[in-house]
Amino acid sequence: MKPKLNLHFFLALGAALIAGYALYAAMDWPFRTGLFPRMIAVPLLVLALVEMGLSAFSTEKQREGHAVDFELTTDLDPSVARQRTLAIIGWILGFFILILLVGFPVGIPLFVFSYLKLGGKERWGLALVLTVLSWIVMEGLFDQLLHIPFPEGWIQSLFE
């Protein structure tokens, strides 16, 4: 039978690699430091290998069981779902990069406005009102009132 190399298989492979790395790293540690990590990594490796095997070769869908957890939406055309998934992942990573570049106080209103206007195609008025609101919460609550020490963005530090 030809093995199925799907996402399930690769997730289990990831878990197996983490367990393998844990066992390898623990080799250099004193006995007591490495004992507990080994106790965890061995069953993790065994179970991950079992899951890998089952993901690759099992064909019985009903034996999969189900997780007590939420499930992603499935009632959309897969290509649309894939496209939207990639888009939102792009926005999330973009948000992170924006914070690195310009810091939280500038990055947050900028992101809120960009997402509302470009991602959500919202009206100008609404986008501007919500952007100002996000700026007020950011500046008023988190910066001025709670004094959270937000680091400067890379761009600001270039001009210092």
Partner 1 sequence: MAEAFVAGFLAVLQWKTFSFMLIGIAVGFWVGLLPGIGGLTTLALMLPFIYDMTPVEAFAFLLGMHSVTATTGDITSILFGVPGEGSAAATILDGHAMAKKGEAGRALGAALMSSLVGAIIGAFALAISIPIIRPLVLIFGAPELFMLAVMGISFISSLSGQGGRAMIRGFLGGLLGLLIALVGLDPQAAIERFTLGQLYLWEGVAIVPLIIGLFAMPEIIDLAVRGTSIAGELPQANLRSGVLEGVKDTFRHFWLTVRCSLAGTFIGIMPGLGGSVAQWIAYGHAAQSARNATERSGFGKGDVRGVLGPGAANNSKEGGSLIPTVAFGIPGSAAMAILLGAFLIQGLRPGLDMLDKHLVLTFSMVWTMVIANVITVAVSLLFLNQLAKLTTVRGTILIPFILFLAFIGAFTEHNHIGDLITLLVFGGVGYLMVRCGWPRAPLVLGFVLGEIAETNFYISTTRYGLSWLYHPVVLTLMVLTVIFIVYPHLRFYLKQVENEPIA
Sites for partner 1 among residues 36-55 (CB under 8 A): 36-37, 40-41, 43-44, 47-48, 50-51, 54
Taking residues 119 to 158 in sequence order and writing x for each that binds partner 1 by CB under 8 A, - otherwise, the string is xxxx---x---x---x--xx--xx---x-xxxx-------
Distance CA 97, CA 159 (A): 19
Cβ–Cβ contacts within 10 Å for residue 42, how many? 13
Residue closer to partner 1 by CB (options 77, 160) is 77
Q: Is the dihedral of CA 138, 139, 143, 146 positive or negative?
A: negative
Of 99 and 106, which CB lies nearer to partner 1 in the complex structure? Answer: 99
- Is 99 or 102 the residue whose CB approaches partner 1 more closely? 99
Positions 49 through 108 that interact with partner 1 (CB under 8 A): 50-51, 54, 58, 62-73, 76, 81, 84-85, 87-89, 91-93, 95-96, 99-100, 104, 108
Give dist(CA 80, CA 138) in Å, integer.
34
Alpha-carbon Rg for the chain, nearest whole angstrom, is 24
Sites for partner 1 among residues 9-28 (CB under 8 A): 11-12, 15, 18-19, 21-22, 25
Q: Is 152 helix (H, G, I), strand (E, B) or coil?
A: strand
Single-letter amino acid code for the residue at 114? S
CA distance linking residue 150 with residue 37, whole number of Å? 35
Number of residues lying near partner 1 (CB under 8 A): 74
To partner 1, the closest distance from the beta carbon of 150 in angstroms equals 8
